[in-house]
Amino acid sequence: MALFCTRVPRRSLSAELTGGPAGRVGGNMEKTKSVGQMIFAAIQCTWGIPQTFLGFVLFLRYIRAPHEWYRGVVRTRWDLEGGISLGLFIFTPDGEDEWCCKMAAHEYGHTRQSLLLGPLYLAAIGLPSLLWERLEWCRRLRREKNIPYSWFYTERWADRLSSSIYI
């Protein structure tokens, strides 16, 4: 599993939105990246609206949890162990260790699947991924056959996308 694990400076969402000191980085590279992230967000809010809407509902459910921008998506650090990706929103455990970092990168890979698949994302990725993770039959299969979680197409593809182009 070749996961891209980067330490993105933790900047508050409010500072990013208001252009406060913590959100200012400067430079043409950053401006280009910002335009790319705006386009990314616009596509997630139109083409990817079904999952982005669900993500927004979940975001409101965990509104008191810490939030931050992460590579152009809203990352919520909740108190659960697992992660989920719904369009413009990703949810990961609240930690700074390598596991949390890898999970954020992986969930970001799913957001790129949302970008590519749009309205097909929930049926093609969301549901199969959820079943692969939750179904007892799938858990037993992984355990007994020693199959890694990342073997399943939804996960392997997300890992690959997470390590490609950085927005």
C-beta of 122 vs 158, nearer to Zn ion:
158
d(CA 102, CA 134): 20
Which of residues 51, 55, 155, 159 is near Zn ion by CB under 5 A?
155
Count of residues interacting with Zn ion (CB under 5 A): 2
Distance CA(63)–CA(9), nearest Å, equals 21
Q: Taking the complex as a whole, how short is the minimal distance between the CB of residue 149 and Zn ion, in angstroms?
A: 8
Shortest reach from residue 113's CB to Zn ion, in Å: 9
Angle CA 136–111–159, to nearest 5 = 65
* Contact pattern for Zn ion over residues 122 through 141, marking x by CB under 5 A: --------------------
Query: Is 68 near Zn ion (CB under 5 A)?
Result: no
Tokens standing for residue 71: 């590579």
| CA pair distance 99, 81, nearest whole angstrom | 10
Q: Which residues bind Zn ion (CB under 5 A)?
A: 155, 158
